[in-house]
Structure 1
Amino acid sequence: MVDAHRTFVIVGGGLAGAKAAETLRSEGFTGRVILIGDERDHPYERPPLSKGYLAGKEERESVFVHEPTWYARADIELHLGQPAVQLDRDAKKVVLGDGTVVHYDRLLLATGSEPRRLDIPGTDLAGVYHLRRLAHAERLRGVLATLGRENGHLLIAGAGWIGLEVAAAARGYGAEVTIVEPEATPLHGVLGPELGRIFADLHSEHGVRFHFGGRLTEISGRDGMVLAAHTDDGEEHPAHAVLAAIGAAPRTALAETSGLALIDREHGGGIAVDASLRTSDPDVFAAGDVAAAHHPLMGTRLRVEHWANALNGGPAAARAMLGQEVSYDRVPYFFSDQYDVGLEYSGYAPPGAYDQVVIRGDVAKREFIAFWLSGGRVLAGMNVNVWDVTEPIQALIRAGVEVDHHALADPTVPLSSLVTPLEGAAG
């Protein structure tokens, strides 16, 4: 079919969807491109919502992927503020909340994820927040400023990346912060206890109080307002606002009701896609947070919820929709900023996957690179206040070769020189 007579539909108004639309046009597609988003705002990037924008260091306009006028210039048809509520794969149509029917030749699901909710009494009180959307960040930004002025307390459930970044922003406003985390350290499931303790110390130095090994059981208040939060060890924590930062769930409702293959929650959840980001339906693709993709490099199925996956996955899916040969094998990557600490993490090293952690640099000064290894091979690397090393770190991960851990720990040995296999080591 000639491109001009084809319609490609993108469901999801985030970074993955916007970059997919951009790529369709840059690759020469001349048919209709329709982008559907359930928010009224134009597609925007999410990292600023817990970083610069939330902290008051960036303006609202800075978060958007493209200027609003770009979509008309690129001939991208927008349906904003209307959720897609039904996918009929036999009829190749998407039904919107207002009854609008949109037909497609090929479809991209870039529906993202949504915050997991606290299932405890008191979550209906005013002052209980989640952070996923721009509207959430706008409200929370005002709350943090008010807490700072009034010496108020923010309690955060969860010491993951979002929880820690919001804690740093809140302290910047002068708010009191307590983090309740069931594990023994922050980021326990991502970094392990060895590195998690570093972030506990960082935040403690900035006045954040941690309550490890506990879970929230109730949020109490008066006249509909939050006053305190309670943990399962019987402690009561003062709180004028509570942020639930306990993770996100992929938004798979459209895929599920239409019969697309899914991955169960125990294995990470999401829509099952192959290395070209194609679902079990050859005319339907998925990218971003919602896609559980077979990863050729990692040799497993991954669902990655970070900015770089949306940035790169959307264009990869667009090229696959156009019939190009695609094997999406980007090394997972994310970044974080907390106080005066900036970091980048590359790779994939879940608990139990690695048998050694090697440090290069000065942990006390928070200027170092951490490497997670298995059998001498680098699975992941995180550079903290050390810059311009992402490329060699990712090259080590891609090489999959055994590395001398003494050389890996030695800052005088160029990382690029370690990509060559050790003599006698299996490649």
Structure 2
Amino acid sequence: MSDPADVLVVGASAAGLATAEALRRKGFEGALTVLGAESHQPYDRPPLSKQVLSGVWEPDRATLRGPEQLASLAAEFVLGDPAVSLDAEARTVHTASGRVLRADAIVVATGLRPRTFAGQDGVAGVHVLRTLDDALALRAGLLTATRVVVVGDGVLGTEIAATARTMGLPVTLTGPQAAPLESQFGPLIARRLAELHTERGVEPRLGAAVTSLAEQNGHVTGVHLATGEVLPADLVVVAFGSTPATDWLAGSGLKADNGVVCDSSCRAADGVYAVGDVARWHHDGLGTLLRLENRTNATEQAAHVADAILGERRPYTPVPYFWTDQFDVKLQVYGVPSADAEVTVVEGDMAQGRFVARYRRNGITTGVLGWRMPKQTRLRRQEVVDAFQASPSGGTS
């Protein structure tokens, strides 16, 4: 199979940039175009909720590559022009400005869009956090806010709550779970995370969903809980999840169902691939469709997609990995932890604030979680790798 003459990457994200870089690194010499909805050069998203939001980093520090590194790719970056439609069969993309871009191979890397409340766009003091511009707007709001409510008890919500609290603000964390990330980590770890936030001054109001925003004269004044209570705030961050940015793919010929549905090599259609947060591919090691929202996967999957474009198609079967930094605690997670798994502390001591927990289901290790123990957590990763390799559904890379 000959290499494509040209490749179009739709999404100037970390995953999109990593795909372009991997193609060049693996010897692709054809035309390469990266199309981005934002006007910014590709930047890293994990620092947005922490270093950029707190002001520890200047915004430019989140940029992934400098001008010389980008120039060395010999790629055309078309920025500030969102894709609005795709014809998968013709491998043609139309943009908001009217551009028509065609390529032998197309990579969809359009990422996620934050979930929002109906009508929130017209209410001052309400923020989401997905883009660099979002982070800068939220930081500006935090610098003058007097009372903050974070709506969302997942990774992003807890990170934002921690950052806002380190800036000295009164912060209330809300969400329907009994403790932060309980549905992902289970009650044991979630309770410890709730304790961490409480110890550092975050006020948890968990166990009741936020049903709507309260506002007066066009400015937010708080949030309504399902209990009927109103929590006052002059700044609200809406962080209760995201959805894959696939609306522009309507009528494209691709299947979009909680992401762009792909085969085990991340191929969505002949000559069309998906990568990063938007990709939902068949993980042969787990025997199911999987979509991962983390920075590590963006890089690893990009290299795999580059191989597939260049003719080396094989199953993509990573051991999932992500981390989150909250206050001075780094949590690292390998595998697929779940709330219904048996959780055992296998290293360290929860009471001392340094430990590794192992997740097991039906006697098989499905995940490990480290709390301030990076080296030991990496070593325990092998247990997850071994379990993946022993799975009758397939192996791991």
Which structure has the bigger radius of gyration? 1
Instruction: Tell me which residue corresponds to 1:257.
Output: 251
After superposition, where does 1:262-281 map in structure 2 within 5 Å?
Answer: 262-263=256-257, 269-279=258-268, 281=269
| Match among 330, 353, 358 for residue 366 of structure 1 | 353
Shift of the alpha carbon at 1:327? 2.4
Asked if residue 395 in structure 1 is aligned to residue 394 in structure 2, the reply is no
SS of alignment partner, residue 400 of structure 1 = helix
SS of alignment partner, residue 388 of structure 1 = helix
Shift of the alpha carbon at 1:69? 3.4
8 Å contact from structure 2 (residues 33, 75) kept in 1? yes
Tell me which amino acid in the other structure corresponds to 2:285. L
Instruction: Tell me which residue corresponds to 1:340.
Output: 328
Cα deviation code 1:243-266 (max 9, x no counterpart): 111111011124332021233xxx
Tell me which amino acid in the other structure corresponds to 1:276. S
8 Å contact from structure 1 (residues 113, 248) kept in 2? yes
Instruction: Tell me which residue corresponds to 2:371.
Output: 384
Tell me which amino acid in the other structure corresponds to 2:287. G
Shift of the alpha carbon at 1:229? 1.8
Deviates more, 1:316-325 or 1:253-262: 253-262
Identity %: 36
Cα deviation code 1:64-106 (max 9, x no counterpart): 1211332222211111000011112232211111111111101
SS of alignment partner, residue 257 of structure 1 = coil
Rounded to whole Å, the distance in 1 between the matches of 2:136 and 2:43 is 14
Structure possessing the higher relative contact order (Cα contacts under 8 Å, 6 or more residues apart)? 2
TM-score w.r.t. the length of structure 2 is 0.94
Q: Where in structure 2 are there 5+ consecutive unaligned residues?
A: 391-397
Instruction: Tell me which residue corresponds to 1:410.
Output: none
Instruction: Tell me which residue corresponds to 2:37.
Output: 38
Shift of the alpha carbon at 1:326? 3.1
| Match among 143, 146, 149 for residue 145 of structure 1 | 143
Tell me which amino acid in the other structure corresponds to 1:237. L
8 Å contact from structure 1 (residues 335, 344) kept in 2? yes
Cα deviation code 1:308-352 (max 9, x no counterpart): 111211121111111113321111111111111111111113344
Question: CA 1:235/1:33 → structure 2, altered by over 3 Å: closer, same or farther?
Answer: same
SS of alignment partner, residue 118 of structure 1 = coil
Asked if residue 313 in structure 1 is aligned to residue 301 in structure 2, the reply is yes
Instruction: Tell me which residue corresponds to 2:149.
Output: 155
Asked if residue 216 in structure 1 is aligned to residue 210 in structure 2, the reply is yes
Tell me which amino acid in the other structure corresponds to 2:263. D
Rounded to whole Å, the distance in 1 between the matches of 2:215 and 2:259 is 36
Rounded to whole Å, the distance in 2 between the matches of 1:296 and 1:389 is 28
Tell me which amino acid in the other structure corresponds to 1:382. L
Rounded to whole Å, the distance in 2 between the matches of 1:38 and 1:319 is 25
Shift of the alpha carbon at 1:122? 5.7
Asked if residue 350 in structure 1 is aligned to residue 349 in structure 2, the reply is no
SS of alignment partner, residue 344 of structure 1 = strand
Tell me which amino acid in the other structure corresponds to 1:368. F
SS of alignment partner, residue 297 of structure 2 = helix
Tell me which amino acid in the other structure corresponds to 1:171. R
Asked if residue 247 in structure 1 is aligned to residue 235 in structure 2, the reply is no
Instruction: Tell me which residue corresponds to 1:117.
Output: 116
Aligned length: 390
8 Å contact from structure 1 (residues 359, 371) kept in 2? yes
Question: CA 1:224/1:262 → structure 2, altered by over 3 Å: closer, same or farther?
Answer: closer
Rounded to whole Å, the distance in 2 between the matches of 1:217 and 1:275 is 39
8 Å contact from structure 1 (residues 127, 225) kept in 2? yes
Instruction: Tell me which residue corresponds to 2:81.
Output: 82
SS of alignment partner, residue 146 of structure 1 = coil
Cα deviation code 1:241-289 (max 9, x no counterpart): 11111111011124332021233xxxxx11111221111x121000101
After superposition, where does 1:186-201 map in structure 2 within 5 Å?
Answer: 186-201=180-195
